[in-house]
Structure 1
Amino acid sequence: MELGHFIGGRLRPGRDGVMTLHEPATGKALLEVPLGDNSTVDEAVAAAHDALTSWRRTLPAERAAVLLRLADAVEAHTELFAQVESLNVGKPLAVSREEIAVAADSLRFMAGAARTAQTPAAGEYVRGHMSMIRREPVGVVGAITPWNYPLMMAIWKLAPALAAGNTVVLKPAELTPLSTLLLTELTREILPPGVVNIVLGTGSVVGAALSRHPGIAMMSLTGSVASGKAVADAASDTLKRVHLELGGKAPVVVFDDADLDEVVESLKVMGYWNTGQECGAATRVLCDAAVHNALVAKLAVAVSSLAVGAPEDGEDIEMGPLISERQLERVAGMVSRAAADGAAIVAGGARIDRPGFFYAPTVITDVPAGSEIAREEVFGPVVTVQSFTSEAEAVAMANDVPYGLAASVWTENASRSLRVSDDLDFGTVWINSHLTLAAEMPWGGFGLSGYGRDMSAYALDDFTRTKHVMVNKRYAA
């Protein structure tokens, strides 16, 4: 695989030095990738504008056909993508394969959605004047993707943007660009030159240049709250549209009638999926005091049984390393401070003694209300358990975070499940499930989790603009 910026259908060398990538499972240097600068961004935006003139005029059916070909290409190379993703991110192969499947499905959904855009009925709303609504692409979209799901997040942005007729300049996370570069290499014969452009580099240089660029009509970012604020601030100079999917601190509200074995099985997977580096992870358990001790005991046993290792350690590996030494230190620091605050570590709580950035899957209880570990996103293999004594207290505790991305409710009482889901301030609420996604349904949050939606027809709405055309019928004859 050749490494370089992908601009106007061709690979371009870097001008601003290189960055060394490290393999999370070993800590060893993997390879060097070039870094872009302001002039690289200028070239990519110019190429995207050149391509926009013809791409925006393609028929929805033509854009759908391209997206379906992209989906076929991704699916045909599932194992290659999975190997690259696992090498670059450290996740088990089974996790990477599922990510590739979701990415291909997202492309296919948007291919269909491209052909079904809806508007109010054309009609005469002012006497003698005919009104109609046009759905148009916003223009050139700047996209920034995170390091935890590099390929899937790239496609969650590319699919609706392309389906709507936009062109894109995408900056992958500097730590994990490899699957995105592989995507461009495998699909360069499918997309016209300049429709998708990739600029490698850091957020402080390339991300900032995209956000400020007057030739970019919209910025779409999935990343940290700090990154989202930086993009929104830079984008404000040109008043461009901003689409943000940021952090999360998902509560898992467990009532006393819940099936604890089912809850624990879900937490074992969805609390530690992708090593907890997941904004919707089941990271914060709020449990009825009557079943708190039983749930903690079951969860500690289940989590201690997780198979932790490198992708090459075998197909039975359930959890891999963290992405970097920096992230490892961040997670370890938060756990250490939680213990100092009086929390009890009942499983894990330490770095694993092996090469790479491994941290043991961890369960923490006796968490003080309002503490850092109770309110801030860890983004690691750490699940906390707190107790409540009433439904009202459970809802108040669940909502007592600045994030509003996702939550789940576990109960056999259908009335209570609907009542509580109404009161939870989160963009997605699951009932007796967690982190179950569908391409047809939107993903996005409230508060510090950002605004805008990924997936579903709502994402297609975000990447289009509406134009009202009114015809004076006296001149229409």
Structure 2
Amino acid sequence: MTTARRAVDAAPLIAETDLPPAAHFMDGTFVEPVTGGLIDVVDPCTEKVVARIPEGTTEDVDRAVSAALRAKGEWARRLPRERSEVLHSIADRVAEHAELLAGLESANTGKPLSVSRDDVAQTVDTFRFMAGAVRATTALAAGDYAENHLSVILREPLGVIGVVTPWNYPLLMAAWKIAPILAAGNTLVLKPSEQTPLTTLKFAELVADLLPPGVLNVVNGYGPVVGARLAEHPDLDMIALTGSVGSGRAVARAAADTLKRVHLELGGKAPVLVFPDADLTAAAQALRVAGFWNSGQECGAACRVLVHESVAEEFVRQLVDEVSQLVVGDPQAGEDVEVGPMVSKAHFDRVSGYLERARKAGIRAATGGEALDGPGYFIAPTVLVDVPEGAEAAREEIFGPVITVETFTEEEEAVRRAGDVPFGLSASVWTEDARRSHDIAARLDFGTVWVNSHLVLASEVPWGGFKGSGYGRDLSVYALDDYSRTKHVMHNHGR
């Protein structure tokens, strides 16, 4: 039976002095809120309060936007080389404080230190990539496309951008937004999740001396207040959100009145298509990581297996063997801990509800399937089998340590069922047939399709979805495109 390993007499992950100021960050400094209460930040491993942050108001947002507006002209006029140097300095600063940020991330989210360290490393790489990419942007060549008229295409910053980031990757998702936004010459106001704000605030503290005042601003608070004000604010040129589908709809509706740009990276329900010729061992080993990384609280998680009936029994045997070996526990309980808790009591209850309803529907847990005893919001890594087509657990985003397994008979059926979800973020195809891999990948309606791997990311390639998973792209030069605008200037040079 799975148990959650607890730390015994371990040194705390962070000291009181490691915590960022419990305040908003505006105009280059931490400031107290206008009014409002405090929000408890809870360690999901112990259920104890580790910090309290201010509950932001619309007035706080307006102050931050004013600071960003004042700063936008000077920052936009900086040469790409100058902005690039600042981004490299930010990357250096984050790398210098990598262990501090990883410990703070784990203390706030409960994620294993291996996951938090990977987040910090990817944060550094994100800033380094954008620092280089902004110096190598391309566009349509200047030239005469109408007789005697020279056309020049300019890339311009949008202006001031509002950002809302999620609780599952607070530092990394902030970096995915901040780096291209700053590289493109914009200023921003960011709202971190009220559940996991600590590394974002610490980041702002660490880089405060590297950026002109007002370029980066952080306002704490709840989505219906702070997030809504950012989405509707008349002085913002864009709102960018990583979050749930419901949050994306709310942001898009609020942004419509001012016709500001909207960038949405929303949920997913990634299908994993395992064909008869697949390397079953490699697939099972890959899903041990890709299905349970960050405790399955990952929008690209390999959470929905569609396996050909001829190899289903053997694949499930290998998958269950891999998953049953996962080490669950507190991040302080050992470097080999792979799976932490759910981020909050509310999310723990939500995931537990999916498992209970699946059980009542006759879906069997081949391993896991239950909450774990003791303090903290731990759920056993779970593989659900005997999952019928259309089952709730196979269609809705559980966002926890749960993989569902369905079987298929024909290739066409697999493709159809893979796409029969409201999401279109990511998918993977497992086959040794190169022709099949190209064909199936082309027919899957998902923004990223891996072949014989899953959840492998790189700063050079785009990330984003189709359908209910939103629109816009993070990472790569496509993110720079999203956070800038093109202007056509045409000169009549006829004589």
* Distance in 2 (alpha carbons) for counterparts of 1:157 and 1:237: 23
Counterpart of 2:22? 3
Shift of 1:474: 4.8
Deviations 1:378-397 (A, max 9, x none): 00000000001111111111
> C-alpha distance in 1, partners of 2:448/2:76?
32
Match in the other structure for 1:407: 427
Q: List aligned pairs for 1:255-404, cutoff 5 A.
A: 255-404=275-424
SS at match of 1:283: strand
Aligned to 2:17: none
Equivalent position of 1:428 in the other structure: 448
For 1:251-297, what per-residue CA distance to the aligned partner results, in whole angstroms no more than 9, with x for missing partners? 01001111111111111111010000000000000001011111111
Which position in structure 2 is the counterpart of 1:82?
102
The one-letter code sitting in structure 2 at the alignment partner of 1:8 is D
Contact 1:344 1:365 in 2 (8 A): yes
- Determine if contact 1:253/1:409 at 8 Å carries over to the other structure: yes
- TM (norm. structure 2) is 0.95
TM-score normalised by L of structure 1 = 0.99
Deviation at 1:30, TM superposition (A): 1.5
Deviation at 1:128, TM superposition (A): 2.1
Q: Which of 23, 27, 49 is matched with 2:43 structurally?
A: 23
Partner of residue 16, structure 2 = none
**Partner Cα separation in structure 1 for residue 145 and residue 320 of structure 2:** 64
Task: Letter of the 1:13 partner, please give it.
Answer: E
What pairs with 1:64-463 in structure 2 (closer than 5 Å)? Answer: 64-463=84-483
Q: Which among 69, 72, 79 is matched to residue 52 of structure 1?
A: 72
Distance in 1 of aligned mates of 2:299 and 2:46: 25
Report the alpha carbon displacement of residue 401 of structure 1 after superposing the two structures with TM.
0.6
The amino acid across from 1:261 in the alignment is T
CA distance in 2, matches of 1:221, 1:421: 27
Q: Distance in 1 between matches of 2:220 and 2:348?
A: 24
Given that 1:156 and 1:455 are in contact with CA atoms closer than 8 Å, whether structure 2 keeps it comes out as: yes
Conservation of the 8 A alpha-carbon contact between 1:256 and 1:288: yes
For the residues of structure 2 that align with 1:208 and 1:340, how far apart are their CA atoms?
38
Task: Name the amino acid aligned to 1:369.
Answer: E
Give, in whole Å, the separation in 2 of the partners of 1:89 and 1:283: 21
Q: Which deviates more, 366-375 or 53-62?
A: 366-375
Say if 1:143 and 1:219, in contact at 8 Å, map to a contact too: yes
**Aligned with 1:378: secondary structure?**
coil
Distance 2:74 2:307 in 1: 56
Query: The residue matched to 2:449 in structure 1 has which SS?
Result: strand
CA deviation profile, 1:23-56 (whole Å, cap 9, x unmatched): 0111112221101111111110010010001000
Separation in 1 of the partners of 2:492 and 2:38?
A: 59
How far is 1:136 from its partner? Answer: 0.2
C-alpha separation in 1, matches of 2:142 and 2:436: 43
- Paired with 1:117 and 1:195, the residues of 2 have a C-alpha distance of 22
Matches of 1:89 and 1:193, distance apart in 2? 29
Amino acid across the alignment from 2:357: R
Q: Give the partner amino acid of 1:210.
A: L
Once the two structures are superposed, residues 78-122 of structure 1 have per-residue CA deviations (whole angstroms, 9 ceiling, x without a partner) of 100100000001100000000111111010110011111111111
Q: Distance in 1 between matches of 2:196 and 2:312?
A: 39
Equivalent-residue separation in structure 1 for 2:201 and 2:144 (angstroms): 50
Cα RMSD of the aligned pairs, angstroms, is: 0.9
CA separation in 2, counterparts of 1:259 and 1:457?
Answer: 34
Check whether the contact 1:426–1:446 (CA below 8 A) recurs between aligned residues.
Answer: yes
Distance 2:142 2:324 in 1: 61
Q: Which moved more, 1:116-125 or 1:18-27?
A: 116-125
**Aligned equivalents of 2:282 and 2:139: distance in 1?**
43
Shift of 1:300: 1.5
Per-residue CA deviations over 1:112-151 (Å, capped at 9, x if unaligned) read 1111111111112222221111100011000000000000
Tell me, what secondary structure is at the counterpart of 1:363? strand
SS state at 2:405 partner: strand
Matched, 1:12 2:31: yes
Question: Which segment drifts farther, 338-347 or 225-234?
Answer: 338-347
- The superposition leaves residues 161-189 of structure 1 with CA deviations (integer Å, 9 ceiling, x where unpaired) of 00000001000011000000110111111
Query: Aligned partners of 1:347 and 1:27: how far apart in 2?
Result: 26
Q: Which residue of 1 aligns with 2:8?
A: none
Q: Please list the CA deviations of residues 414-464 of structure 1 after superposition, one character each: whole Å capped at 9, or x if unmatched.
A: 111111101111000000000000100000000000000000000000000
The answer for unaligned runs of 5 or more in structure 1 is none
Identical-residue share of aligned pairs (%): 56
Poorly superposed stretches of 4+, deviation over 2 Å: none
Partner Cα distance (1:344, 1:38) in 2: 48
CA contact (8 A) 1:22 1:30 kept: yes
